[in-house]
C-alpha cells in the first residue's frame, strides 16, 4: 500500500542519514548530502539534444517543505533542496520528506534532498523511529499548523551553509538559486536560452 511504501521510504532515509552524514568545516553541523536523490538523477535522465540543464537550488527549515509541491509542479525539472532541522526535529523532517516523495511524483522524480542539523551535545544525533502510519497519509501530511509558523529554533539558521550544500550537490550544468516560497514563471525552464550562458570553470562556481 501507499502507507507501506512511505514507511519503507522513511527507513531508507534513516539508513542514508546514518551512512552519509559528515561534519561541516566548523564542526557545528552535521550534513547528509544526497539524503534522497531524485529519480531522474538515479536513472541518469538528461535533457534532449545534449543541451545543458538548469536546476533550482533552494533551502528551508523542515516545516516549510510543503512549498516544494507547487515548486516541483511548476518547474518540472531538477531541484536541489537543503533541509534544516534541529536534532529533535530530524524525525519529523524525515517523515515529511518520505511523505512528499510518496505522494507527489513530481517531487520523487525531480527533487534531491540534503539534510543539515546542529551537532547534538551527545554526539552524532539520536535514534529515529517510524511515526504511526497515519502520519504518512497524503491528505493529512501538511495540514497541521507546523508549516505555517516561521522557523523559531534555538540555533542560528545557517543560510549560507544550506545554500552551498544544495548548490554543490546539484549535478545540473547551471543552477538558479531561489527562496523555497518563490515560484518561477510558467515554462521558464523550457524558455531559457541555455546557449546564452557561459559556463564558468569549476574554481569560479
Q: How high is the mean pLDDT in each 10-residue block of the chain (205 residues)?
A: 79 92 91 94 58 88 93 94 93 92 94 92 60 74 50 72 96 91 88 59 53
Cα separation of 135 and 197, whole Å?
Answer: 44
Give Cα 118 to chain centroid, integer Å: 17
Cα separation of 147 and 63, whole Å?
Answer: 5
Burial (Cβ within 10 Å: 0-12, 13-18, ≥19) of residue 11 = middle
Determine phi and psi for 30, rounding to 5 degrees.
Answer: -100, 140
Cα separation of 50 and 115, whole Å?
Answer: 31
Cell digits of residue 51: 543541451
Under 8 Å between Cβ of 125 and 90: yes
Number of Cβ within a 10 Å radius of residue 126: 12
pTM of the model: 0.84
Amino acid at each position: 500500500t501507499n502507507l507501506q511504501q512511505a514507511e519503507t521510504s522513511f527507513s531508507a532515509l534513516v539508513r542514508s542519514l546514518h551512512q552519509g552524514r559528515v561534519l561541516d568545516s566548523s564542526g557545528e553541523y552535521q550534513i547528509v548530502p544526497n539524503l534522497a536523490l531524485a529519480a531522474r538523477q538515479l536513472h541518469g535522465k538528461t535533457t534532449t539534444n545534449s543541451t545543458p540543464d538548469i536546476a533550482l537550488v533552494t533551502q528551508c527549515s523542515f516545516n516549510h517543505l510543503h512549498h516544494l509541491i507547487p515548486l516541483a509542479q511548476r518547474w518540472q525539472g531538477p531541484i536541489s533542496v537543503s533541509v534544516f532541522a534541529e536534532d529533535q526535529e530530524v524525525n519529523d523532517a524525515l517523515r515529511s520528506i518520505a511523505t512528499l516523495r510518496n505522494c507527489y511524483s513530481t517531487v520523487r522524480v525531480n527533487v534531491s534532498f540534503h539534510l543539515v542539523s546542529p551537532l547534538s551535545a551527545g554526539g552524532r544525533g539520536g535514534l529515529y523511529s517510524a511515526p504511526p502510519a497515519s502520519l504518512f497519509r497524503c491528505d493529512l501530511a501538511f495540514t497541521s499548523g507546523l508549516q505555517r509558523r516561521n522557523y523559531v529554533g534555538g540555533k542560528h539558521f545557517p543560510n549560507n551553509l544550506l545554500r552551498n550544500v544544495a548548490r554543490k550537490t546539484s549535478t545540473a550544468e547551471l543552477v538558479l538559486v531561489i527562496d523555497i516560497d518563490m515560484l518561477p514563471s510558467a515554462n521558464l525552464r523550457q524558455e531559457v536560452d541555455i546557449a546564452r550562458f557561459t559556463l564558468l570553470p569549476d574554481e569560479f562556481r
